[in-house]
Amino acid sequence: MSDTLRIAIAGASGRMGKMLIETVLAAEDVELVGALDIAGSPAIGADPGLSWGFQTDITITEQLDVGLAKAQYLIDFTQPAGTLAHAKYCAAHGIHMIIGTTGLSAEQQLELAAYANKIAIVFAPNMSVGVNATFKLLELAARILQEGYDVEIIEAHHKHKVDAPSGTALRMGEIIATVQNKNLQECAVLARQGHTGERKEGTIGFATIRGGDVVGDHTVLFAGDGERIEITHKSASRMAYAQGALRAARFLQNKQHGYFDMQDVLGLKSL
């Protein structure tokens, strides 16, 4: 098909990379044309489709010029340093990016935004459609519950996750803080220990759980006097993130450049 999207996957041997490869191979309107991994990975040289019963004409490589030779899009759910290196290469070669990497600093996000002057980028800490619907619900709740309600964000992930709080939890905090005219960096409470004193009014608390194989659970608690409102999203599989990433790639199909998020992809900003 002439309009088939040619996609490469970064972090091909990781949990998310494998799920992305499976999702791309199963979709009719996209084609897997490249797979990247870090130098020294045992997966280098392997066919990325074999785990799913597919035989492709590509092998996993650490060489960007090889892995991205035929790619129109790179889907990247890796680590900040790797993502930025990939973004620099993609910007120089006209390859659009879908980025789900978490743990990027504010400066690193600004660097990504600069690359978006040359290519189209969708950057989102969570590409699940359900999570992004939850973001929209939080906007409404934060607007209604501005006075008399304390906000706590509780997130749980598997034991291998290296950043905390999760990018999704931080995004939830940013949404609530923005609606309530606060600066999250000033009002966030990321840890509590010892004699902390009473809870300071207007703060947004975070609690982090790490263990087992939890894919991702997030709960935002609005606690008032005499009642609590809880908004929760639970992920049972990484498939939702992979499907969201493909939806983001389709969204970029006619874009030349620009910096977008999943709210743009799903058309939620106009609601």
Q: Indicate the residue type of 53.
A: G
Closest to 101 (Cα-Cα) out of 177, 178, 175, 11: 11
Gap between the Cα atoms of 126 and 219, Å rounded: 14
Order across the sheet with 258-260: list the strands.
30-35, 5-9, 73-76, 96-99, 120-123, 258-260
Instruction: Judge contact between 53 and 26, C-beta under 8 A.
Output: no
Gap between the Cα atoms of 237 and 239, Å rounded: 5
Q: Which residues are catalytic?
A: 157, 161
**Backbone dihedral region for residue 197 (phi beyond 0: left; psi -120 to 50: alpha; all else: beta):** left
Gap between the Cα atoms of 92 and 118, Å rounded: 8
How many CA atoms are closer than 13 Å to the CA of 50, on its beta-carbon side?
Answer: 10
Gap between the Cα atoms of 154 and 225, Å rounded: 20
Cα Rg of the chain, angstroms? 20
Closest to 251 (Cα-Cα) out of 111, 92, 82, 132: 132
Per-residue tokens: 41: 């990975």
How distant is the alpha carbon of residue 143 from its chain centre? 25
Per-residue tokens: 42: 């045992």
Instruction: Judge contact between 59 and 46, C-beta under 8 A.
Output: yes
